[in-house]
């Protein structure tokens, strides 16, 4: 089953509650929340208070994507704010195995994220410990960038690595996902699609979500 995770990075922040309700009513499965620190990535977004503010607005799981240096410092605060899944970048974690278990100790699902250039081999020894692998299909930092097709073989590699280890993981893709690129990712083994601009730039959110699902159903 394909899950659609609209990224609120492309929402109207002045009307965040309404923007979240529009995608929940439109058939979204998760809400993707992009946390940026202006250090790990060249952009700033929001912190735990905003996550806590949106928690009561939706019943959907909050999929928190940390694009921050030294994520261990903030993991408890995001868990307390109501995150259901917290994902950390391999490139930001010196002690990745420790960080993954630290997330799980907070009672939250754990994900690992790889930038487009980071080899899948980097997660071979932790894939058994995570609930989700997120493959960036753009360089993180901004919405509305073009999909990087070179990541597609990495999706296949993650799927193969997981099955070799008899491990069920969600495989999520993030960046430049639309009705053209989503099927390439699903065909390669992805089951969670993050989409920011492809959903929030459309007035009819339900139609945009439906278009993604239909494109992948063929
Ligand atoms: C990029 C973020 C994405 C972003 C995707 O750094 O991680 O979640 O919102 O936006 P689109 O779908 O517009 O590429
Ligand atoms: Zn993201």
Which option is the CATH number for 3-217: 3.30.70.260, 3.40.50.1000, 3.40.50.10800, 3.20.20.70?
3.20.20.70
Q: Is 37 a catalytic residue?
A: no
Strand partners, 132: 111, 170
Rounded mean pLDDT of 76-84?
Answer: 98
Supply the pLDDT for residue 86: 99
The answer to whether the beta carbons of residues 216 and 186 sit under 8 Å apart is yes
Residue 24: CB atoms within 10 Å: 17
Is the shortest distance between the CB of 192 and ligand 1 below 6 Å?
no
pLDDT band, very low/low/confident/very high, at 32 (cuts 50, 70, 90): very high
Phi, psi for residue 6 in degrees, rounded to 5: -60, 135
| Closest listed residue to residue 90, CA positions, set 63, 64, 116 | 116
Residues forming the annotated binding site for a divalent metal cation?
Answer: 32, 34, 65, 174
Answer whether residue 36 shows pLDDT above 80.
Answer: yes
The ligand 1 atom at the shortest distance from the C-alpha of residue 145 is 14
pLDDT band, very low/low/confident/very high, at 33 (cuts 50, 70, 90): very high
Strand partners, 62: 31
Out of 29, 34, 63, 170, pick the active-site residue: 34
The ligand 1 atom at the shortest distance from the C-alpha of residue 136 is 7
pLDDT band, very low/low/confident/very high, at 60 (cuts 50, 70, 90): very high
| pLDDT tens-digit readout, 90-104 | 999 999 999 999 999
Which DSSP state fits 155?
Answer: H
* Domain range list for the chain: 3-217
Supply the pLDDT for residue 106: 98
Q: How many angstroms separate the alpha carbon of residue 44 from the centre of ligand 2?
A: 13
Which ipTM did the prediction report? Answer: 0.99
| pLDDT tens-digit readout, 126-167 | 999 999 999 999 999 999 999 999 999 999 999 999 999 999
């Amino acid at each position: 089953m394909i899950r659609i995770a609209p990224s609120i990075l492309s929402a109207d922040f002045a009307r965040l509650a309404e923007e979240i309700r529009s995608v929940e009513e439109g058939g979204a499965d998760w809400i993707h929340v992009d946390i940026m620190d202006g250090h790990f990535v060249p952009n700033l977004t929001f912190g735990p208070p905003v996550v806590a503010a949106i928690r009561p607005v939706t019943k959907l799981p909050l999929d928190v994507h940390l694009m921050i240096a030294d994520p261990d410092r903030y993991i408890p605060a995001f868990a307390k704010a109501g995150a259901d899944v917290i994902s950390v970048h391999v490139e930001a974690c010196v002690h990745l195995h420790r960080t993954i278990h630290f997330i799980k100790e907070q009672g939250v699902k754990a994900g690992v994220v790889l930038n487009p250039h980071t080899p899948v081999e980097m997660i071979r020894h932790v894939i058994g410990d995570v609930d989700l692998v997120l493959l960036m299909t753009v360089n993180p930092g901004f919405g509305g960038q073009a999909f990087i097709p070179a990541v597609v073989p990495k999706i296949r590699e993650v799927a193969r690595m997981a099955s070799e280890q008899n491990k069920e993981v969600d495989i999520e893709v993030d960046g430049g996902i639309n009705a053209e690129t989503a099927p390439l990712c699903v065909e390669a083994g992805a089951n969670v699609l993050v989409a920011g601009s492809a959903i929030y730039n459309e007035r009819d959110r339900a139609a945009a979500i439906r278009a993604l699902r239909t494109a992948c159903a063929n």
